[in-house]
Structure 1
Amino acid sequence: MKYLLHASSFFHFIALLMILMFNKMEMAIEKGMQYKADFTKSIYGIEGDFVATIQNLFHNDILTIVCSYFYVIIFPSIMITSIAIYTYQKNHKLFYAVCYALMFNYMIAIPFYLFFPVNEVWFFHPKVDLLILDVFPTFEQDYRPLSGLDNCFPSLHTSISISMAVIAVKSRNTFWKIFVPCSAAFIIFTIFYLGIHWLSDMCAGVVLGVVAARMGLRIAEGRLILGERALLKRPVKNNEY
C-alpha cells in the first residue's frame, strides 16, 4: 500500500510541475498569436480609481516592505510548505487536493490570459505606482519572464491563496489552518496596495480559488475511496506492507 501511495504522490507532483510550466509556455504562445485584444480600458471604466484610492490611503514605507515580501516570498512559500506539511503528516487527501487545485487554477486561468488580456493597474493607471520596486528594484527583470504584463484576469495570487486557505482549514495543524487563511486575506490586500491587480481580477480569483479547491478536495477524496476499494478486491502479498 505505502509503495503505491509513494508512486502516486510522485506522479502527481510531476504533473503539477508540468502544469506550472504551462504558465511560461502561455507567454510564448501569446507572442505568436494574431489576436491582440486589450480589455484594460473596459475594466478601468467599471472600477475607476478603486486601486488608486487603496494605494494612496494606506501608503506607508513599512507596509510596502511587508506587502512586497508577502507577494514575492510568502505566497510561493505557502504552496511549497503546504505540500511539505501534508506529505509529512501523510495526509494524502490534502496532498492530492493541493496538486489538483493548483492544476485547476492554472488550467482555467491560462485561457483567460490568452483571450481576455488585461494589463496590470500600475501600467495603465496614471495615479498608481508599482510599489514593489521600492523593495525589489529588479522585480520587473526577474519576475516578468514568469508572468506577462497582461496576465491579470483572474488573479492567480488571489485564486491560489484562496485554494490553499480552503484546503488548509481541513488540516490537522492548528497553526496552519489559521495562518494560511490570514495570509490569503493579506495577500489579497497586497495585490491592490502594490498596484498590480484590479478589483475584477480579485473577484474572479476568489471564485476560481474556491471552485478549484472544492474540486481538488472532491477528486482527492474520491480517488482515495476508489483506491481503498481496489485494494480490498485484490489479494495481499505477505511482503507488500
Structure 2
Amino acid sequence: MYPLQSMTHATVYIVISIYFLLLVTLRTNPFNAAGAFVQEIFTRRKYLLHFVAVMAILFFNKIELWVESHMKYTADFTPKVYALEGNFVAAFQQFFQNDILTMVTSMFYVVIFPCLMIASILIYTYQKKHRLFYALCYTVMINYIVAIPFYLFFPVLEVWAFHPKVDLLITQAFPAFESEYRPLSGLDNCFPSLHTSISVSMAILAAHSGNRFWKWFSILSCSIIIFAIFYLGIHWVTDMFGGVILGTFAARVGIRISEERTVLGGLLVQPRRLKQQKVGD
C-alpha cells in the first residue's frame, strides 16, 4: 500500500503533522495557535495585508505555469547543466537507493516541506513574534519573485526527465505524483530549487525564534529535504546551490526589512503618544 495515494491523503498528513508539530513546539493545544492566527487576521490590518501578499505570490506561481505554457520561448539549458555535473545525481541515487528511504524522503518532500511554512506562521503568531512573521512573509515573497523569472527564461528539466539512469523514485511512494502534484510545479522549473530555498529560509528564521525544538527540527528537515531532491531524482546540484544562495539571501533580507519596518513603526508611534500625553496634561 502506498503511503501517499493522492493529494487528499497528502493534505490529511500535512494537517496531522502540523497538529503534532504545534503540540510539541508550543506545548499547548494547537487550536489555540489556530485561534490566535484567526484573531490576528481580523484585528490587525498589517498582519492581514502581509498574509494576503504571500497568498498572492503563491497564486502567481500558478500563473507562471500558464504563462510558460503559452510562451514561444523554447530554450533548454539542461544539456549545459549536465555537461557541468555529469552523473553525480545518478550515482548518488544508486548508492543510497532503499525502499524505506524512498518512503521517508517522499514524505518530507511532499508533506513536511509545506508544514515548515504553515507551522512557522502559526508558531510565530501564537508567540506574538510579529517581526518573525513579517520576515517570513517577505522571505517567501522574495524567494518566488527571484525564482519565477528563472523558470520562465532559464528552463532546466528535472534530472529524471533528462538522465536515462535516474528514476523518479517519489512515484514509488506517491504514484499519482505526476498527475496530482505536477500541476503545482513545472517539469522544467528546476533552477533554483524552491524546495531548497524555502527550507533554508525557514531554518534560518527558526534559528532566530528562540525555540530550541523548532530550530533543530527545521534544520534537520531542511537537511533531509536537500538530500531528498537528489535521492528522488528531481534536482541537479546546480539547483541546490542556487536554492541555498536564494534561501539565505531571502531570509537575511526578509529579517532586515522586518527590523527596519519595526523601528520605523516605533518612531511613528512614539510622537503620537507624546502628543497625546501633552494633550492630556
* Length-normalised TM-score, structure 2: 0.82
Letter in 2 for 1:149: L
Sort the Cα spacing of 1:45 and 1:92 in 2 relative to 1 into closer, same or farther, 3 A: same
Which structure 2 residue ranges, 5 or more long, are not aligned? 1-39
Q: 1:212 offset after TM fit, Å? A: 0.1
1:204 equivalenced with 2:242 (yes/no):
yes
Q: 1:29 offset after TM fit, Å? A: 0.8
The partner residue of 1:36 within 45, 60, 74 is: 74
Q: After superposition, what is the alpha-carbon deviation per residue over 1:175-215, rounded to whole angstroms, capped at 9, x for unaligned?
A: 00111011101100000000000000000000000000000
- What is the match of residue 166 of structure 1? 204
Q: After superposition, what is the alpha-carbon deviation per residue over 1:39-71, rounded to whole angstroms, capped at 9, x for unaligned?
A: 001100110110011100000000000000000
- What is the match of residue 108 of structure 2? 70
Letter in 1 for 2:51: F
Letter in 2 for 1:6: R
Quote the Cα distance in structure 2 between the aligned partners of 1:160 and 1:97. Answer: 13
The partner residue of 1:118 within 141, 151, 156 is: 156
Residues 42 and 48, structure 2, Cα contact 8 Å, conserved in 1: no
Q: Pairwise CA RMSD of aligned residues? A: 1.7
Quote the Cα distance in structure 2 between the aligned partners of 1:59 and 1:145. Answer: 27
Which structure 1 residue ranges, 5 or more long, are not aligned? none
Sort the Cα spacing of 1:26 and 1:3 in 2 relative to 1 into closer, same or farther, 3 A: closer
Letter in 1 for 2:211: N
- What is the match of residue 84 of structure 1? 122
Residue correspondence of structure 1 range 72-221 to structure 2 within 5 A: 72-221=110-259
The total of aligned residue pairs comes to 237
Bigger shift: 150-159 or 174-183?
174-183
Letter in 2 for 1:168: A
Quote the Cα distance in structure 1 between the aligned partners of 2:118 and 2:276. Answer: 35
Q: 1:172 offset after TM fit, Å? A: 1.9
Sort the Cα spacing of 1:12 and 1:190 in 2 relative to 1 into closer, same or farther, 3 A: same
Q: 1:33 offset after TM fit, Å? A: 1.2
Quote the Cα distance in structure 1 between the aligned partners of 2:132 and 2:55. Answer: 17
Quote the Cα distance in structure 2 between the aligned partners of 1:203 and 1:49. Answer: 17
Quote the Cα distance in structure 1 between the aligned partners of 2:202 and 2:87. Answer: 30
- What is the match of residue 20 of structure 1? 58
Identity %: 59
Sort the Cα spacing of 1:207 and 1:96 in 2 relative to 1 into closer, same or farther, 3 A: same
Letter in 1 for 2:139: A
Q: 1:3 offset after TM fit, Å? A: 9.8
Q: After superposition, what is the alpha-carbon deviation per residue over 1:68-118, rounded to whole angstroms, capped at 9, x for unaligned?
A: 000000000010000000000000111011100000000000000000000
Residues 41 and 47, structure 2, Cα contact 8 Å, conserved in 1: no
Structure 2 SS opposite 1:234: helix
Quote the Cα distance in structure 2 between the aligned partners of 1:191 and 1:29. Answer: 25
Letter in 2 for 1:78: L
Quote the Cα distance in structure 2 between the aligned partners of 1:224 and 1:102. Answer: 19
Q: After superposition, what is the alpha-carbon deviation per residue over 1:124-165, rounded to whole angstroms, capped at 9, x for unaligned?
A: 000000000000000111111111000000000000000001
Q: 1:4 offset after TM fit, Å? A: 11
Quote the Cα distance in structure 1 between the aligned partners of 2:222 and 2:105. Answer: 12
* Length-normalised TM-score, structure 1: 0.95
Quote the Cα distance in structure 2 between the aligned partners of 1:73 and 1:237. Answer: 50
- What is the match of residue 261 of structure 2? 223
